[in-house]
Structure 1
Amino acid sequence: MKKFLLPGLLLIVLFSTVDVTAQNLLYRNIPLEVNRQRLDKVLEILSNKGNFYFSYSSSIVKKDSIISINTNNKTLKEVLEQIFSSGYEFIESGNYIIIRKAPIRLTMVTNRAVQEERVYSVSGFVYDEQTGHAIREASVYEKRLLAATLTNQEGFFKLKLKSGRKSTAELTLSKEFYADTSVVIEPRHSQQLTITMLPLENEAERTIITPEDYEVAEAAVPPLEVKEKDTIVAAPVAAITDSAQVERTGMGRFLLSAKQKIQSINLKKFFTTRPFQASLVPGLGSHGKMSGQVVNNFSLNVLGGYTAGTNGIEIGGWFNIDKKDVKYAQFAGWFNVVGGQMKGIQVAGINNTVLDTVKAMQAAGVGNFVKGRFNGFQVGGVYNHVADSVKGVQAAGVANFARKKLSGVQIAGVANISNKETRGAQIAGVLNYSKRLKGLQIGLINIADTSDGYSIGLINVILKGYHKLSFSTHELMDVNVAFKTGNSKLYSILEAAIQSNSDEKIYSFGYGLGREMPLNKKKSVTFNPELHSQYLYLGSWDYTNILNRLHLNLNIKLGKFISIFAGPAVSVYMSDQKTGFKGYHFPGPPGGYKHFTISDKVTGWFGWNAGINFF
């Protein structure tokens, strides 16, 4: 047994030594001889010789610095300390050497007052832990009391706090692009502090150097000739983190102060709840400068308020601005702005703006704007705008807009627009537009890209639908020209006609509706019932002469762009004209066709219709 014990111990010691050696990269001896080489090239040489990786932020390492060094008996740490200044530190992590700025270890200094106070102050300075520079516009706050302030240009702050029963209190410091810092303080005593904050590292600026990055050239590389000059390195510009969006709305920019916007950016991770709040204007109320971080059950804003959200009822004399969600009721004399979701009922005298989804009844004197999906009933005196889908009803005095799918009804005095698909109805005084129509359009002008529904209006344009230019004749008119647009389910007809006989002249114009019904699989033979209504000019505009006709046409396609049609027709003619005018046709029914009388002003007869379609 003993003869195996000693070799086993030796193996354990051997592997332990190998493991320790592998981990202590910074204490390896690595010879290095370079003359006027760039810093990044020198790091590549070291990485290749030691078979490890370098990791650093390009914002703190001047890669184009020129290095000359000749050493044979120094550790990697000593070599790096010679290359870099004293403001850097080197950390070993696995097979990586991390290069970073050495933090400035500022100790918190407390000048504590001896006497206890009911209202005490905490003041001090805030510095960057790596550079030692003062940090301005950092938020310093106490979460329980909702007291907050911002540091000034010199990083100085002063905060007044009420003494409580607890033996300790805690201040929190937050600043964009810095890690949050918490400091425990002793309450009831005024005190001064010095605090450091650690900046967050920007991963986009991180550089990794691998052993493979350096390849030894066949010939010696001559030293780099560089003229001495001053180098200015620009500070990295980090991307601005998106906080609550309400501050960037028109009302947010106009009504919120710069300090409130900065506070919102700094405290984007901190929110709390309270049962009640009251304010006169944003920042002047029961929650003071922290109002934008508090969600309330009941919120009363005499003129206007700025809160994190509402979980109950909010009433504003002029306006309400909420960074996050609002439910269940919100009322304002002028406008409401909500950065999150809105559920319940929202009413404003002028405008409602919601930057997320809405599941509510929304009413505004002028307009409503919703950035997300809308589900409910939306009423605007002028305009409703939904930047996503609509499920429900939009009603506006002028126009409605849905960027995506409409599942419901749009009603507007002038125009409705559904940018994607409509499953429901669009009713407008002038214009309806939908990219894909699977419902009903009623308006003066109806436009759709494709349609599987019905468009009823004076002009119906289906871009990928039914389009025909028709020339025809019938028993009363020599030449009839019609433009037919829509889809096979229902197409509209705009037409004009003339009877060219010099003694029997007739001029007419009118409107109609038709439907195409295929009679075979190839749809080369179709049955097209059409209803026409035309005004006939018979020498004077003082009379009403209306010709209504039902055409029962059989349509035969001769090619892709041409077809012929013919069929019987039934006419009903209504006229209050008692006398004829020279050169114009009179009376209404054509000669040679047996007619029937419905009343003294209404006459009917059976006739025919034939023509040709193009396109």
Structure 2
Amino acid sequence: MNNKIRCILLILMLIFVIQHLSAQVDLHRKISINVQNLFIPQTLHVIEQDYNFFFAYNAKQIPADERVSINKRNIALKRALDEILSNRFAYTTIGNHVILRLKGINTEPEDFIILGVVRSADGFPLDSAVVYAVKENKAVITNNEGTFRLRLKEPSQYIHISCPNYKDTLLVAGTLNGEKIIGLYRKYTNTIVSPLETGDLGVLSSQTRFEKLPLVRNLVPQSALYLNRQVKTRHLIPIQVSFLPGMGSQQLTKGLNVNSFSLNVLAGYSKGVSGFEIGSLANITGGNVEGAQVAGVANIVNGQINGLQLAGVFNYTFNQVRGLQISGVGNISNNNVEGLQLAGVSNNNKGTVNGAQVSGVLNTNLRKVTGLQLAGVANIQADKISGCQLSGVYGIASDVKGVQLSGIMSHTTHDVSGVQISSILNKARKLNGLQIGIVNIADSIENGVQIGLFNIVKNGYHAFEFTKDETYYCNFMYKTGGKRFYSILDAGIRKDEVGVGYGFGYIQPIYKRLSVNMDAIYGVLLATNSSETYCGKIMNFRLGINYRILKHLTLTNGLSFNLYDPDKENERSGSAGKISFTGNSSNTISQAFKNNRKAIWPGWFFGVRF
């Protein structure tokens, strides 16, 4: 069994190696560029931004004040560079890095140690400059005196030197075989922030939040985080094995590596993943993950997820998630989620969700959800949801287009277009659809229905109605709902019985002060002078004509059709015979109630409505 596992892992590793060994910038790739009267460094930066690779060069060798204009489509990268740089430079590609060097520089290979001092143009030593050997992926940070020492195998490679707020420079390693003084010039000479600089500030803000996470701060060396900020490059590694981010001879440059297959015995730190990464404790990634990332405790990613992110405790992603994000406790995403976000306890997302957000306890989301939001306890949705929100206890959203279902309370701060259901309370501002609950509250109903014991519409229909009919001495109704459709609470009083019921009604204006209404009420008859309180069911269907005398006073009268179904029939009376009335004798109706006989009769009513 162990041999089979080893064979499978070996095959996977070989696939990743074959896939990425040739992954580097192609000088013959076709590009399109259109710039007019732009400085050469800015022109090169435009190409970097459009095609996702980097240029490395000595800033002194490229005239910063020389402008170029070029408008080419589908031109080879090498030809475009020859035109921009007047055919004065040779090009070397390493990974996603294009090295620019003046033609004619002698770079004979020789093993040696490079030494130097990095200073500002004013002669002050720079104690945080990064000296990076691009080809060998080695780096060192200058000390308080600005000095550095780095052992290399090949003197022909290029050394990239950078420092915050200073222009980068590129030197050939062979020129640093003595303690050479290297001067760096300040990057910004004015206080106006360019659009490119503004983008850099946003990236730095995300990077700062990433670095302040306790797990990152305690596991990853600060020097490695600093190097990752300063050196804008990626080094492709087919296979990587790590014990801890702070251990090993390459700990400083681990944050520059994009790994195809990464095995972290405890925890690991890298620039990105393009394949598969597994760690028993934690995986910490400063860039994007393309593929699958699995950790026993936590995955922390400062870039995007395209694929699967699986953790035993939690996942924390600072950018977009496309695929599956699954954890035993919690998922945190600072950007959009396209796919499934599944957690045993909670999901916290600050972007949009297109797919499903499922948790055992709580889902929170700041922007729109399109799809399913399911939580065992509560869903807190700050924006609109188009789809279905299911909550065990409480669900809230700004707008609902679809279904909102909660065990206790469904709350929409703005509009509901669809169905809102809860066992106790539903609340919305504007209802276009259906509310079902014991208590339904809405500011207004445009085209909808409330079904519940108490239906409250702030800007809807409210009426108290007192009537007299053939069944009750006095009948009281409270009607509330939309402008046309409403619910009814009904209570009637007889000599020895009372009736209570619930129903629905519809009112339609006819002409000015005149209107008609249709009511259907289902109730029960309760005895007040007997130990057996429940007598039976009574159903009432009314057709009324209404005339409004004053703004809040209306006369109402009409006809009714009534059905009484007793709890148990009087066996001594023979069959359950129906009692039909051509008239409506109150005495005969009373006999039907008293003798527990089914009865059907037409009726009448009149009264006032407030």
Q: TM-score range by the shorter chain?
A: 0.5 to 0.7
Q: Give the whole-Å Cα distance in 1 for the aligned partners of 2:475 and 2:135.
A: 87
| Bigger Cα Rg | 1
Q: Partner letter of residue 332 of structure 1?
A: A
1:243 aligns with 2:203: yes
For residues 121-270 of structure 1, the aligned pairs below 5 Å read 125-129=117-121, 132-135=123-126, 137=128, 139-148=130-139, 150=141, 154=144, 156=146, 163=153, 167-175=156-164, 177-186=165-174, 194-204=182-192, 241-243=201-203, 253-257=213-217, 259=222, 263=226, 266-267=229-230, 270=233
Change (3 A) 1:521 1:566: closer
Q: Give the whole-Å Cα distance in 2 for the aligned partners of 1:329 and 1:470.
A: 60
Q: Give the whole-Å Cα distance in 1 for the aligned partners of 2:355 and 2:514.
A: 45
Gaps spanning 5+ residues in structure 2: where? 1-64, 67-108, 257-268, 446-459, 571-584
Match of 2:589 among 586, 593, 615: 593
Which residue pairs with 1:504 in the alignment? 496
Change (3 A) 1:173 1:247: closer
For residues 194-593 of structure 1, the aligned pairs below 5 Å read 194-204=182-192, 241-243=201-203, 253-257=213-217, 259=222, 263=226, 266-267=229-230, 270=233, 279-280=242-243, 288-290=254-256, 291=269, 293-307=271-285, 308-419=287-398, 421-434=399-412, 435-443=414-422, 444-465=424-445, 466-473=460-467, 475-476=471-472, 478-482=474-478, 484-485=480-481, 487-488=482-483, 491-493=486-488, 495=489, 497=491, 499=493, 504=496, 506=498, 508=500, 511-512=502-503, 514=504, 516=506, 518=508, 525=515, 527-532=517-522, 536=526, 538=528, 547=537, 549=539, 551-554=541-544, 556=546, 558=548, 568=560, 570-571=562-563, 575=567, 592-593=588-589
C-alpha contact (below 8 Å) 1:595/1:606 kept by paired residues: no
CA positional deviation for 1:569: 5.1
Q: Give the whole-Å Cα distance in 1 for the aligned partners of 2:173 and 2:348.
A: 46
Secondary structure of the corresponding residue to residue 256 of structure 1: helix
Q: Could you give the per-residue CA deviations for residues 294-351 of structure 1, whole angstroms, max 9, x where no partner exists?
A: 3432222221122112111111111111111111111111111112211111111111
Q: Give the whole-Å Cα distance in 2 for the aligned partners of 1:524 and 1:251.
A: 73
Change (3 A) 1:242 1:121: farther
C-alpha contact (below 8 Å) 2:114/2:152 kept by paired residues: no
C-alpha contact (below 8 Å) 1:280/1:305 kept by paired residues: no
Secondary structure of the corresponding residue to residue 506 of structure 1: strand
Q: Partner letter of residue 263 of structure 1?
A: Y
Q: Could you give the per-residue CA deviations for residues 429-461 of structure 1, whole angstroms, max 9, x where no partner exists?
A: 111122111111111211111121111111111
Q: Partner letter of residue 304 of structure 1?
A: A
Structure scoring higher RCO (CA < 8 A, sep ≥ 6) equals 1
For residues 51-62 of structure 1, the aligned pairs below 5 Å read none
Which residue pairs with 2:57 in the alignment? none
CA positional deviation for 1:424: 0.5
Q: Partner letter of residue 446 of structure 1?
A: N
Change (3 A) 1:296 1:239: closer
Q: Partner letter of residue 300 of structure 2?
A: I
Q: Give the whole-Å Cα distance in 1 for the aligned partners of 2:380 and 2:463.
A: 33
C-alpha contact (below 8 Å) 1:437/1:451 kept by paired residues: yes
CA positional deviation for 1:157: 6.8
C-alpha contact (below 8 Å) 2:162/2:230 kept by paired residues: no
CA positional deviation for 1:571: 4.8
Q: Give the whole-Å Cα distance in 2 for the aligned partners of 1:276 and 1:561.
A: 82
Q: Could you give the per-residue CA deviations for residues 223-265 of structure 1, whole angstroms, max 9, x where no partner exists?
A: xxxxxxxxxxxxxxx9992226665669952212282796388
Q: Could you give the per-residue CA deviations for residues 433-490 of structure 1, whole angstroms, max 9, x where no partner exists?
A: 22111111111211111121111111111113324143344634724353624x4576
C-alpha contact (below 8 Å) 2:462/2:479 kept by paired residues: yes
Which residue pairs with 1:21 in the alignment? none
C-alpha contact (below 8 Å) 1:384/1:396 kept by paired residues: yes
C-alpha contact (below 8 Å) 2:557/2:607 kept by paired residues: yes
CA positional deviation for 1:549: 3.9
Q: Give the whole-Å Cα distance in 2 for the aligned partners of 1:605 and 1:409.
A: 46
Counting matched residue pairs gives 449
C-alpha contact (below 8 Å) 1:335/1:351 kept by paired residues: yes
Q: Give the whole-Å Cα distance in 1 for the aligned partners of 2:465 and 2:475.
A: 7
CA positional deviation for 1:139: 4.8
C-alpha contact (below 8 Å) 2:135/2:157 kept by paired residues: no
CA positional deviation for 1:565: 5.1
CA positional deviation for 1:183: 3.9
C-alpha contact (below 8 Å) 1:425/1:440 kept by paired residues: yes
Q: Partner letter of residue 471 of structure 1?
A: E
CA positional deviation for 1:172: 4.0
C-alpha contact (below 8 Å) 1:121/1:159 kept by paired residues: yes
Change (3 A) 1:194 1:454: same
Alpha-carbon RMSD: 4.7
Secondary structure of the corresponding residue to residue 464 of structure 1: strand
Secondary structure of the corresponding residue to residue 372 of structure 1: coil
Q: Give the whole-Å Cα distance in 1 for the aligned partners of 2:237 and 2:511.
A: 70
Give the TM-score normalised by the residue count of structure 2. Answer: 0.60
Q: Give the whole-Å Cα distance in 1 for the aligned partners of 2:524 and 2:172.
A: 89
Q: Partner letter of residue 422 of structure 1?
A: V
Secondary structure of the corresponding residue to residue 203 of structure 1: coil
Q: Could you give the per-residue CA deviations for residues 22-68 of structure 1, whole angstroms, max 9, x where no partner exists?
A: xxxxxxxxxxxxxxxxxxxxxxxxxxxxxxxxxxxxxxxxxxxxxxx
Q: Give the whole-Å Cα distance in 2 for the aligned partners of 1:320 and 1:282.
A: 14
Secondary structure of the corresponding residue to residue 201 of structure 2: coil
Residue identity over aligned pairs, in percent, reads: 23
CA positional deviation for 1:520: 5.3
CA positional deviation for 1:124: 5.2
Q: Give the whole-Å Cα distance in 2 for the aligned partners of 1:279 and 1:542.
A: 80
Q: Partner letter of residue 186 of structure 2?
A: L
Q: Give the whole-Å Cα distance in 2 for the aligned partners of 1:268 and 1:469.
A: 74
Secondary structure of the corresponding residue to residue 341 of structure 2: strand
Q: Partner letter of residue 464 of structure 2?
A: S
C-alpha contact (below 8 Å) 1:278/1:299 kept by paired residues: no
Which residue pairs with 1:5 in the alignment? none
Change (3 A) 1:548 1:116: farther
CA positional deviation for 1:357: 1.3
Gaps spanning 5+ residues in structure 1: where? 1-91, 94-114, 207-237, 579-588
Which residue pairs with 1:583 in the alignment? none
Q: Give the whole-Å Cα distance in 2 for the aligned partners of 1:511 and 1:157.
A: 88
